[in-house]
């Protein structure tokens, strides 16, 4: 075809506007890592991609292209075209991409144009170019902005506080994990690549703030690793300590780890939701068995079993109150007190939720 079809090079506008995209790579490539607002509508299946790849290695590009067209023709081609057109109808301002912005996205783009005269744009350089851009932007922005870190004892409400601040990067939210042995949610964590991509996009959207607020984290949040440029900068940043009473921390923890977790498990699976909630508590407790010691672990495991049984009989979670209090005071607080001693020279402010919000407001206008 004679017409030169559109390619997108302005990646910043692409990610800040949450442009919907479809990914023409094979499913096996997509699940390893993708971008937000992206749907996998492949040109070739995993098996077809494997066959074409083998042909390319043995017989060269020309024969591989011929084989690709043989594999994806007739009803198979029409089915894929229909799926692309359905996406385009829903997202007329979207885009498409393949791995390097080469044959797969070009063929997809041409087939769409030939069928509809729609010039649906593709990413120049494809997935690889956008991924490189996001990695570079993460590093650049972290060197440009001033991070401020919020710390505090387990259950003091750091996540609740972050939710009230716009100039924040919620690492735990992006990682879909609360950063502790009990940090799993009812859904799986993203892949490392997907986490890094989403983090980069959040940084790009908020890079015009002079200060960005992060929660105090370790090197990992669950199974995902915080990029070194983020970890290195935040580990040296000013530290704000959010303070709360033990009773306030028990209430926050009961809501997060008992009541809301139970409700989420039930909403996800009505039939097996309670069993999944019970398993979540027992598995989480098992993760800290060595730190608790065998005797204390066995006692707490029995207490959890009783609390679960009480809830089934009374529809009341009060049996978890002493368990949550013991975990906070006897387990998490000693670890926190040990760790915070290493960071006292970085502490610039301490206060309750409102006082911390006022301090951060002053940062944003100064």
Looking at the annotation, which residues are catalytic? 98
Cβ 195 vs Cβ 173: under 8 Å: no
Residue 225, strand partner residues: 220
DSSP state of 270: T
Q: What are phi and psi of 97, to 5 degrees?
A: -160, 160
Q: Name the token pair of 42.
A: 């492949």
**Encoding tokens for residue 131?**
């991924």
| CA trace torsion 50, 198, 177, 155 (10° rounding) | 180
Map tokens 């690793």 to a residue: 225
Q: What angle do CA 14, 16, 19 make, to 5 degrees?
A: 45
| Strands, sheet with 21-23, edge to edge from the N-terminal-most edge strand | 7-8, 122-123, 95-97, 21-23, 38-40
Strand partners, 22: 39, 96
77 contact partners, CB below 8 Å, separation of at least 6: 111
């Amino acid at each position: 075809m004679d017409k030169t079809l559109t390619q997108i090079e302005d990646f910043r506008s692409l990610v800040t506007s949450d442009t919907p995209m479809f990914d023409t790579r094979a499913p096996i490539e997509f699940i390893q890592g993708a971008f937000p607002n992206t749907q996998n509508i492949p040109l070739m299946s995993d098996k077809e991609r494997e066959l074409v790849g083998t042909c390319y290695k043995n017989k060269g590009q020309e024969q591989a292209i011929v084989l690709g067209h043989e594999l994806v023709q007739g009803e198979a081609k029409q089915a894929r075209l229909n799926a692309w057109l359905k996406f385009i109808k829903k997202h007329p301002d979207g885009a498409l991409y393949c791995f390097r912005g080469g044959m797969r996205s070009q063929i997809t783009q041409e087939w769409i144009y030939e069928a509809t005269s729609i010039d649906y744009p593709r990413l120049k350089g494809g997935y690889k170019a956008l991924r490189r851009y996001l990695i570079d932007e993460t590093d650049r922005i972290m060197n440009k902005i001033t991070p401020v870190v919020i710390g505090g004892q387990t259950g003091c409400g750091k996540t609740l506080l972050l939710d009230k601040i716009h100039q924040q990067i919620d690492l735990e939210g992006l990682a879909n994990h609360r950063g502790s042995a009990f940090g799993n949610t009812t859904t799986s964590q993203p892949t490392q690549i997907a986490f890094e991509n989403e983090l980069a996009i959040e940084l790009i959207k908020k890079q015009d703030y002079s200060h960005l607020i992060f929660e105090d984290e370790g090197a990992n949040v669950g199974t995902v690793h915080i990029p070194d440029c983020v970890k290195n900068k935040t580990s040296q940043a000013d530290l704000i300590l959010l303070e709360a009473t033990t009773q306030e921390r028990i209430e926050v923890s009961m809501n997060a780890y008992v009541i809301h977790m139970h409700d989420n498990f039930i909403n996800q699976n009505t039939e097996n939701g309670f069993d999944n909630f019970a398993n979540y508590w027992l598995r989480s407790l098992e993760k800290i068995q060595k730190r608790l010691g065998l005797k204390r672990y066995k006692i707490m495991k029995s207490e959890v079993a009783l609390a679960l049984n009480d809830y089934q009989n009374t529809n009341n979670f009060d049996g978890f109150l002493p368990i949550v209090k013991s975990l906070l005071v006897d387990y998490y607080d000693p670890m926190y007190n040990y760790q915070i001693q290493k960071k006292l020279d970085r502490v610039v402010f301490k206060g309750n939720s409102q006082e911390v919000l006022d301090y951060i407001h002053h940062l944003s206008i100064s």
